[in-house]
C-alpha cells in the first residue's frame, strides 16, 4: 500500500500539527480546534443557505440548510452529522463538504449541530440527528425535498451518529429512510485491529486520540456493546441501502470494512468504496484531488440508490 502522492507530501505536517486533544478536557479541545479554523474566502456557491432551529429531545437543535444551485422539483434530503470525535467540529467546519454534497447529489442538505460529548454522552448525538430527520420528513415540502427520499449521513464520529440514527429510525418506525451515507465511520470501539496496529501512529489520527474520543462519548466498556453506541454490534436487517467509504491508511479501516460485510450479510444493499492511498479525514481536505474524486463518487453512488428506490 502506498499513500496518495498529495497526501504523502503533507501527512507528516498534518500528524505533527494536530493538537494532543487526548490530554485536554472536552471544552479545551473544542476551543483549540475552533481557534484553528479558517473559513474559505470563496465558498462554493449553492442555491441558498440558512440556519434554523429544530425541536429536539433536549431542547432546540441548530441546523444549517443548503439548497443546491440547480434544482427542479423535489430533491432528496440528506441529514448530515459532522465528524469531530463526538467532541468538536460544528456547522462551520463541515460547511464546505455540505455545499459540495448539495450540488453533487443534488439534494437539500441539513447539517446538524448535535449535542457534543463529554457534556452530552451517547446516545444524545444520534437522538438529535433522528429528531432532525423526522422533522425533515414532516417538512419536506417546505424544504423543497421529497419525503420519500430522506437520507442520513456522516463522516468519522458523524458516521457512527448517522448509523445509530438509522437504527433508531428502523426500530421506532420513523422516519422511513431511503439510504445512509457513511464516510470512514467510527463504528466500533475495537483498538486491536490490524489497521490500528499499522496506522495508529503517524497517520494523523493516532490511537490515543481515537481512544479518548470514545472515552468522552461512551466511557463505559459495557455500554460500547450497545448497537446505538457501536453499530457494528447491531442486528442490521432492515436498515436502509448504504454507501460506505473507507480509507486504506486509516486506523478505522478494518471496522469500516467489517461493517460493510455485516451489512451485506444482513441483506442490506451496500455500495462500498475503498480509497487505499488515503488517510482518515481526507474527504474534508479540499486541497486534495482525491477528496473531490471521492465526493463525486459517493454522491453518484447515493444518487443511483435514490433513483432506483424512486422507481420501486
Catalytic residues: 156, 250, 280
Residue 162 in contact with residue 129, Cβ under 8 Å? yes
How far is the C-alpha of 104 from the C-alpha of 32, rounded, in Å?
A: 32
Nearest-angstrom CA–CA distance, 126 and 131: 9
- What is the arrangement of strands in the sheet containing 48-56, beginning at the earlier edge strand? 48-56, 59-67, 108-112, 75-81, 145-155, 179-183, 242-249, 270-279
Cell numbers that stand for 95 in this block: 460547511
User: 218-239: string of b/e by CB count within 10 Å (b at 16+)?
Assistant: beeeebbebbbbbbbbbebeeb
> What are the two backbone dihedrals, phi and then psi, of residue 69, each rounded to the nearest 5 degrees?
-65, -35
Cβ-contact 273, 256 below 8 angstroms:
no
CA distances from 271 to 112, 160, 246 (A): 24, 17, 11
Among the listed residues 61, 59, 84, 263, the one whose alpha carbon sits nearest the alpha carbon of residue 160: 84
Of 243, 113, 254, 235, whose CA–CA distance to 183 is shortest?
Answer: 243
H/E stretch holding 292 reads helix 289-311
Amino acid at each position: 500500500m502506498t499513500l496518495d502522492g498529495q497526501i504523502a507530501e503533507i501527512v507528516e505536517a498534518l500528524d505533527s500539527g494536530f493538537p494532543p486533544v487526548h490530554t485536554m478536557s472536552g471544552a479545551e479541545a473544542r476551543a483549540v480546534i475552533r481557534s484553528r479554523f479558517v473559513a474559505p474566502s470563496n465558498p462554493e456557491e449553492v442555491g441558498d443557505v440558512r440556519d434554523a432551529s429544530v425541536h429536539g429531545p433536549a431542547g432546540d437543535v441548530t441546523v444549517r440548510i443548503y439548497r443546491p444551485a440547480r434544482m427542479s422539483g423535489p430533491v432528496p434530503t440528506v441529514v448530515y452529522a459532522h465528524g469531530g470525535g463526538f467532541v468538536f467540529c460544528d456547522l462551520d467546519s463541515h460547511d464546505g463538504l455540505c455545499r459540495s454534497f448539495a450540488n453533487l447529489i443534488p439534494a437539500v442538505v441539513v447539517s446538524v449541530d448535535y449535542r457534543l460529548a463529554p457534556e452530552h454522552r451517547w446516545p444524545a448525538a444520534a437522538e438529535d440527528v433522528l429528531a432532525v430527520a423526522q422533522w425533515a420528513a414532516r417538512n419536506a415540502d417546505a424544504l423543497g425535498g421529497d419525503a420519500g427520499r430522506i437520507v442520513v449521513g456522516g463522516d468519522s464520529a458523524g458516521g457512527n451518529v448517522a448509523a445509530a440514527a438509522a437504527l433508531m429510525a428502523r426500530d421506532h418506525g420513523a422516519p422511513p429512510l431511503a439510504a445512509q451515507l457513511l464516510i470512514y465511520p467510527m463504528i466500533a470501539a475495537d483498538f486491536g485491529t490490524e489497521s490500528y496496529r499499522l496506522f495508529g501512529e503517524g497517520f494523523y489520527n493516532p490511537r490515543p486520540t481515537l481512544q479518548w474520543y470514545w472515552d468522552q462519548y461512551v466511557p463505559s466498556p459495557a455500554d460500547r456493546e450497545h448497537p446505538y453506541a457501536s453499530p457494528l454490534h447491531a442486528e442490521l436487517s432492515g436498515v436502509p441501502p448504504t454507501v460506505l467509504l473507507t480509507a486504506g491508511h486509516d486506523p478505522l479501516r478494518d471496522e469500516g470494512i467489517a461493517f460493510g460485510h455485516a451489512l451485506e450479510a444482513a441483506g442490506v444493499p451496500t455500495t462500498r468504496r475503498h480509497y487505499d492511498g488515503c488517510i482518515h479525514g481526507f474527504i474534508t481536505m479540499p486541497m486534495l484531488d482525491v477528496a473531490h474524486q471521492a465526493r463525486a463518487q459517493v454522491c453518484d453512488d447515493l444518487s443511483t440508490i435514490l433513483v432506483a428506490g424512486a422507481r420501486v
